[in-house]
Amino acid sequence: MFDVKDTIAQAIHKQLPELSREQIYDMLEYPPNPEMGDIALPCFKMSKTLRKPPVQIAHELASNISNVEFIDKLEPVSGYLNFFFNKSLFVEQTLKRILEEQERYGSQPIGQGKTIVIDYSAPNIAKPFHVGHLRSTVIGNSLRKIFEFMGYRCIGINHLGDWGTQFGKLIVAYKLWGNKDEVEAHGIKELLRLYVKFHEEAENDPKLEDEARDWFARMEKGDSEALELWQWFKDISLKEFQKVYDLLDVHFDSYAGESFYNDKMDAVIEELRKKNLLKESEGALIVDLEKYGMPPCMILKKDGSSLYATRDIAAAIYRKKVYDFHKCIYVTGAAQSLHFQQWFKVIELMGYEWAKDLVHVPFGLVSLGGEKLSTRKGKVVLLEDILSEAIKKTLEIIESKNPDMENKEEVARYVGVGAVIFSDLYSNRIKDVSFSWDEALNFDGETGPYVQYTHARCCSVIRKAPEHDNCFNPALLVTKEEYQLCKTLYQFPEKVMIALNQLEPSVITRYLVDLAQDFNRFYHEHPILVEDQQLRTARLALVKATRITLANGLKLIGLKPLERV
C-alpha cells in the first residue's frame, strides 16, 4: 500500500530509534503553505527526549537522511524538518492506487473477525421523533458505516425507550382525556398532546404522578390492560418512526428495546446480591460508588420497579453473550455521561473484564432557538417535518433550474435529506447545536448539496469523455491546482482512520468539503476534455480519482453519491 508518510516515518526512525515509527508517524503534519514542503516533522516534542534543541535535531536529521523513496528534498527550518515530494512519482502512485482500489479506496481490513455493537437512535415510544433524535441516529449510522468499511462486522441496535414511568403517565392521560378514535386518527401527535397535558395537569395535581407510577408497576407485574395499552402505543410509534428511518435510509439489526430485558433483570439483581454489591437506601436498592467519585447507581426503586441502569446492565450482559463484541458503543447525549460511567463501573465491579470494551460516544445538546428541547412541554421540531421541508425546497430548486431532469422527486429526496444529515455531521459531535430552519435548509457553501453536486460534476465530465483507459502520464499534471487536489486525495485513508479512532464522523464530512473545493478550483482553472489526448487522459484520471473518493466518503456519512443533480 502506497503510504509516503509511513516511508518518511521509517526513515526518521532509523535515525532516532528512541522513538517508535508509530510515534513519529503521528508527529508528521501537513504544512499550511506548500512553500514549506509537503510533509513536516516538528522537532519540538522530541527535544526533551533527545536532550537537544529542536533546530539542532532538524539539521542533524536533514544531514543524515538520504535516498528516501518519493522524496526530492529535505529542508530544516526553525525547528521543523520539511519534506518535498517527487511530484510526478507521488501523483502517479496516488492516482494509481485510487483507480485500482475503487470503492475500497480508504479502507483497511483491520476489523476482520471482530464484532462491533452500536446502540444508536433509540427514540422513546409514544413520543415524537424530533430533531433531538437526529444526532444519535446519523452519528451512529455513520460510525457503523465507517467500522464496516474497515472490515468489522457491525450489529446496529435501536434500543427503544419502550419501558418506564412515562408509559404510566400516558395511560393515565389516555384514560382521563383521550379516546381511541383520536389516537387512531392522529397517531403520535395525539399521544404527544396527551403526554404534554399530563404534565400540565400534574403541576396542580401531584396525585397524578402517583397514579402513573402505579400503572407502570402494574405493567412490570404483567397486568393485561396496562400491557395492551402499552403495546398499542408502541405499534403506533414504530409505524411513525419507520417513515423517518426510510427517509434517512437508516436500518437496524435489532429493535430490542428496554422491555426486551424485563425477564433478564431478576438474574442481574440476584448476581449483584451474590457479589455483595447491593445496598439498601431508603427502601431502594443501590450500588454504592462513592469511593469512585460518583453518586450511587440505583438498581431498584422502593416500589420494586426497575430503572434505566438496571435495564442497561442486563442489556450489556445479554449482548456480550449473544454477539461476543469487540466493542459495544453507545451513541447518546453528553448529558447522560454520568449514567454510563456509573453502570460501566457496576459491570466492572461484577468482575466482567469486558467492561473496558463498553464505550460511550457523547454528543452535544440540541436546542431550539437557544431553549432546551422538551417533549413534556411540547417544545420540539418533528424530524419528519424537517426532512419533508428539505425535500420540498430541493424540488423547488430543481423545478426552477432543471425542470426536465429525470427522477427529480428521487433526486430531491436524496439531496434534501442529505443536506440535513450533512449539516448535523459537519460539526464536531460534542459541540452543542442550536437548531435553525435557515441553517438546516441552507444549500449554499460548505453543505451536502455542494459535495453531491461536485460528485455529479465529476460523473458528467467522465460521461462526456471519449473512450479512454487508465494509463496516464503523471508528469503532465504539473499545475498547483492539480497537485493540491492530488495531495488532498492522498489524505483520505488517513482521515477515515482518524474518524474511526476518534469516533468522529465530522472528520470525513469536513474532508469532503475540502476535496470538493480543491476539485472545483482545478475544474475552473483547467479545461479537462482538451484536444491533447495525453493531457486529457491525465486530467481524466484526476477526475475519476476524485469521483471515487467523494463517493466513498459520502457513503460513510450516509449520503448517496448522485450521478446527476
DSSP 8-state class, residue 351: T
Instruction: Tell me the C-alpha distance between 330 and 315, whole Å.
Output: 12
DSSP-derived pairing of the beta strands 327-333 and 115-119: parallel
In this structure, which amino acid lies at residue 412?
A
Sign of CA dihedral 522, 523, 524, 526: positive
CA dihedral 188, 189, 190, 192 (to 10 degrees): 90
Q: Please answer whether residues 420 and 382 qualify as being in contact, where contact means their C-beta atoms are separated by less than 8 angstroms.
A: no
Instruction: Tell me the C-alpha distance between 262 and 18, whole Å.
Output: 55
Three-state SS annotation for 343-365: HHHHHHHCCCHHHHHEEEEEECC
* DSSP of 236-294: HHHHHHHHHHHHHT---SB---GGGGGGGHHHHHHHHHHTT-EEEETTEEEE--GGGTS
Instruction: Tell me the C-alpha distance between 208 and 222, whole Å.
Output: 21
455 is annotated as an active-site residue: no
133 is annotated as an active-site residue: yes
Long-range interactions of 68-73: CB distance < 8 A, separation 24+? 68/7, 68/8, 68/11, 69/7, 70/4, 70/7, 71/4, 71/7, 71/8
In this structure, which amino acid lies at residue 351?
G
Cβ-based neighbours of 60, under 8 Å, separated by 6 or more: 15, 52
Closest-CA residue to 540 (of 465, 486, 451, 482)? 465
Cβ-based neighbours of 401, under 8 Å, separated by 6 or more: none
Residue 329: phi and psi, rounded to 5, are: -110, 135
In this structure, which amino acid lies at residue 390?
A
Q: Please answer whether residues 55 and 79 qualify as being in contact, where contact means their C-beta atoms are separated by less than 8 angstroms.
A: yes
Residue 374: phi and psi, rounded to 5, are: -145, 110
Q: Which of 133, 169, 495, 560 is catalytic?
A: 133
- Classify 141 as helix, strand or coil: helix
Per the document, the length of the chain is 565
Instruction: Tell me the C-alpha distance between 248 and 419, whole Å.
Output: 11
Three cell numbers, residue 74: 529535505
130 is annotated as an active-site residue: yes
Beta bridge partners of 118: 156, 329
Give the DSSP H or E segment for 319. helix 308-323
Q: Which of 127, 159, 393, 544 is catalytic?
A: 127
Catalytic (active-site) positions: 127, 130, 133
